[in-house]
């Protein structure tokens, strides 16, 4: 296994959408994903979304989908919409590789924090984020880490 992490390309969007569906299944809401590949392409083409992917021999096995946004209290930030590693590739350090690249991207963009959400029952993710120094606001279950 030789994992590489890179910025996504437009042609990766179909696989990214499949990973998002995989995440929805994990979160017990597979029917909640109604966005189409056309929606993804339109968002990509307009610059609304961006992604990082992890590959194993050119096969995409994980992704982080994110976008720039603005906090009225803090300023420019990056919002992490979805972060998923294929089930067969979990617990191999791939999530950490994507996570680290995401924060490097946020710094390159001049963001002062990254914000996202985590389900309260996803104990593995909560432990990972806490280990990485993120702040988990449990009353809202919003997550942020200042850069």
Ordered domains of the chain (ranges, CATH) = 3-146 (3.40.630.30)
The two three-digit tokens of residue 134, written as one number = 């993120």
Q: Which of 40, 89, 129, 146 is catalytic?
A: 129
127-147 pLDDT, tens digit each:
999 999 999 887 765 566 778
Q: Which residue has the tokens 């299944």?
A: 25
Count of helix runs (H) and strand runs (E) in the chain: 4, 7
CB-CB neighbours of 47 under 10 Å: 9
16-58 pLDDT, tens digit each:
999 999 999 999 998 999 999 999 999 999 999 999 999 999 9
Task: Give dist(CA 20, CA 12) in Å, integer.
Answer: 12
Q: Helix, strand or coil for residue 139?
A: coil
Is 89 among the residues known to form the active site?
no
Task: Give dist(CA 29, CA 38) in Å, integer.
Answer: 21
């Amino acid at each position: 296994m030789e994992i590489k992490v890179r910025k996504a390309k437009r042609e990766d969007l179909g696989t990214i959408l499949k990973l998002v569906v995989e995440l929805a299944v994990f979160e017990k809401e597979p029917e909640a994903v109604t966005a189409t590949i056309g929606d993804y392409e339109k968002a990509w083409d307009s610059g609304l979304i961006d992604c990082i992917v992890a590959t194993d021999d050119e096969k995409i096995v994980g992704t982080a989908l994110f976008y720039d946004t603005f906090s009225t209290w803090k300023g420019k930030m990056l919002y992490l919409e979805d972060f998923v590693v294929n089930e067969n590739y979990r617990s191999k350090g791939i999530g950490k590789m994507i996570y680290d690249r995401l924060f490097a991207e946020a710094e390159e963009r001049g963001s002062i924090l990254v914000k996202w959400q985590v389900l309260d029952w996803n104990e593995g993710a909560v432990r990972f984020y806490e280990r990485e120094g993120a702040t988990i606001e449990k009353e809202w279950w919003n997550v942020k880490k200042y850069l």
